[in-house]
Structures are given as C-alpha cells and as structure tokens.
Amino acid sequence: MRSISYGMRIIKDYNLKELNTFGIEAKAKFFVEINNEKDIKELIASLEFQQNEKLFLGGGSNVLFTQDFDGIVILNKVKGIEIIKEDNRNVWIKGFGGENWHEFVMFTLNKKLWGLENLSLIPGTVGAAPMQNIGAYGAELKNVLENVEAYDVKTGEKVIFEKEECECGYRTSIFKTSAKGKYFISAILVRLSKNINVNVSYKVLENYLKENNIKAETPKDISDVVIAIRTSKLPDPKILGNAGSFFKNAFVEDKKFGELMSKFPDLPFFKEDEKVKIPAGWLIEQCKWKGKRLGNVGVHEKQALVLVNYGGASGAQVKELSDKIIASVFEKFGIKLEREVNLI
C-alpha cells in the first residue's frame, strides 16, 4: 500500500466483489478511493494512474467483471449537491459524480422540482448517469441535462461538455463511445422545473396512476409510484446479484419490421422517430430463456432482460449465458441484441 496524500491510499490486489452489484469476484491490480477534487488532481499526477489502465467505478451497478482488472480502479466518492441558480421557472442543480443517484433525485423532489421523478431508484452514482444517458419510465437524463464536467485523464485538465456535445442517445453517450475511457466525470448540471410537468408517457405508469386513483400533484407523487413499480418488478441486487437490464431494447428499420410482423403477428413494438423499437425482454422470452438457470447464473423469472448471479458465479459464466441468449435471439428473429452492461 502507498499513501500518495493524506487520506488517499493506493492499495494493491484489491477484491472488487463488494463493489459490483453482480457480486462477482474479481481483483484490481491497484485500487484507490477518491473523496474530493484535490484527490482527483493528485491521483491524475501519480505514476500508478499514469502508467496503468484505468477504470472509474461508482456503484458498480452497470459493470460485469469477466476477469481480474490489470490496472487501477478508482472508486468515486466525491459527493456534493449545489443549487447554482434559479429564475421564475427553473432551478439549476449541480451534483458531484460520487453522489448517490437516488439521493440526488430525492434532494430535488424535496424542493418540489420536476424533471427527475421518473428516474427515481436507479442504482449507482451521479457521475455514471451521463455514461449511458440513464432512462426509465419514459424519461431520460438528457431531458434535463445542461452540461457534464469532466477531467481529461491524460492532461488532468477540466473540461465542460455542453449537453449537445454529450451525444446522448438511447442508453449511450459520447462517454460510452468515442470518448470512452478518456474522461473522469466529476459533476453534472441539470435544469429542473418549478412548474408542474407530469410525464406519464410510459403506459405502465399511466395505468398505475389510473388504477390506484392517484392524482399526481407533486414530483414526489410520481416518484412514489415509480418506486412502487420498480420494487415489485426488479430483483434487489443485495439479495440476488444483477446489473438491471443486461440488454438494450432492439431497434429495426421499417423493412425488417414488416418481415417480422408477417412472421410474428404478436410482436410488441413502439414507433420511435424513424425506427421501430422492439422490447428485448419479449424476444428473450420467446426464445424460452425467461426463468432459465444454468448452474450459478440465470435469467430472472419475472424479468427476461435481467441476468442474475445465484451466488458464486464468475463474470465469464454470466457473459457465456449472454452470448447464448444473443445467439438464440439472432437465430429466431435475425436481430442481434446489444449488451447494456459494460464488460470489463
């Protein structure tokens, strides 16, 4: 172990099992926890950082370790929430990267601000949220994102990515594509609304409100419903290792959609812009994977999109299961599913 500053220690051969929601055993050659912006700058200047492959980790809820990590894992614990400015209609709030995402959402809801309520209870950190432009229940981070503050890991220079520069798309952004591994996301700025702005574009949410006769008057009302639906549907990683949806939904062109409809008339679909979205969970279920278990790994019994670790599974076993699912969906539908989870 080497201390590079007061409070910041670089540890060798660190076990990452408690730091990923899949609960996979894997070791990092070096490990360090950062707690403030000073730590970031000192870390970037250190030899261990400069000479090794780097992996920034928040809540570990969107990673699958398929092997030990032969580099330095940096656990982001840089916390803080600041109100930057406000006008008659909006409030701009900055969240530091190591802040827990749900606590950040709760902070905004307690101030009766609209914009993040549909994204309640997503595990992980604020800093990872722009990575895949987190989304749920008809909302995406990009709807409220103003900018992303990041450090260039080569130069140590701080840069601001304006929303348009983040290239946010469905479960993706520039940080997952062309800028992958090049930046440490230190904070985000969101613009939230003071005025009522209910988003029930997602049918499940709308139906729940109707069936339970709930009139959403505050963003907290929507958040409560989102939390109720999520807890009834998704496995708790503390009980059953998982990383939420393992696969992305599929998007197909009109021609392919026509072919699929003639073969599978029950095919569920959603028209989005020029393309047609097909729920990956349905495709996986049709291939009879839902609830299937192969040794220590399996497909969740209620959610075909979620792969689980029943205990003691290796990342390679989870990956192998995902390969099999991708192959059988491709064979039956000619659609190549993409993984949402980051393979390490």
Ligand X SMILES: Cc1cc2nc3c(=O)[nH]c(=O)nc-3n(C[C@H](O)[C@H](O)[C@H](O)COP(=O)(O)OP(=O)(O)OC[C@H]3O[C@@H](n4cnc5c(N)ncnc54)[C@H](O)[C@@H]3O)c2cc1C
Q: Which x/- pattern over 89-108 shows residues binding ligand X (rule: CB under 6 A)?
A: --------x-----------
Judge whether 307 and 321 are in contact, CB under 8 Å. Answer: yes
Asked if 237 touches ligand X (CB under 6 A), the answer is: yes
Nearest to 283 by CA among 341, 232, 334, 343: 334
Pairwise CA distance, residues 97 & 78, whole Å: 6
Give the residue, chosen from 23, 95, 115, 123, that forms a contact with ligand X under the rule CB under 6 A: 123
Min separation Cβ 325 and ligand X, Å: 18
> How many angstroms separate the most distant Cα atoms in the chain?
66
Among 23, 49, 61, 226, binds ligand X (CB under 6 A): 61
Binding segment for ligand X among 58-66, 106-114, 160-168, 252-260 (CB under 6 A)? 58-66
**Min CB(259)–ligand X separation in Å:** 30
Query: Tokens 């709760």 — which residue?
Result: 106
Q: 């029943």: which residue's tokens?
A: 310
Q: What is the CA radius of gyration of the chain?
A: 21
Does the protein bind ligand X through residue 242 (CB under 6 A)? yes
Site stretch for ligand X (CB under 6 A), options 125-133, 205-213, 216-224, 268-276? 125-133
Which residues between 300 and 329 bind ligand X (CB under 6 A)? none
Task: Examine residue 55 and tell whether it contacts ligand X (CB under 6 A).
Answer: yes
Q: How far is the CB of 241 from ligand X (least distance, A)?
A: 9
253/272 with CB nearer ligand X: 272
Nearest alpha-carbon partner for 337 in 288, 291, 262, 278: 278
Only segment of 7-15, 24-32, 197-205, 240-248 that touches ligand X (CB under 6 A) = 240-248
Q: Could you give the residue numbers annotated as active site?
A: 171, 245, 340
Give the pair of three-digit tokens for residue 136. 């749920």
Asked if 243 is part of the footprint of ligand X (rule: CB under 6 A), the reply reads yes
Q: Does 136 bind ligand X (CB under 6 A)?
A: yes
CB of 240 to ligand X, least distance (A): 9
Residues that bind ligand X (CB under 6 A): 21, 55-63, 76, 97, 122-125, 127-129, 131-132, 134-136, 184-185, 234, 237, 242-244, 342
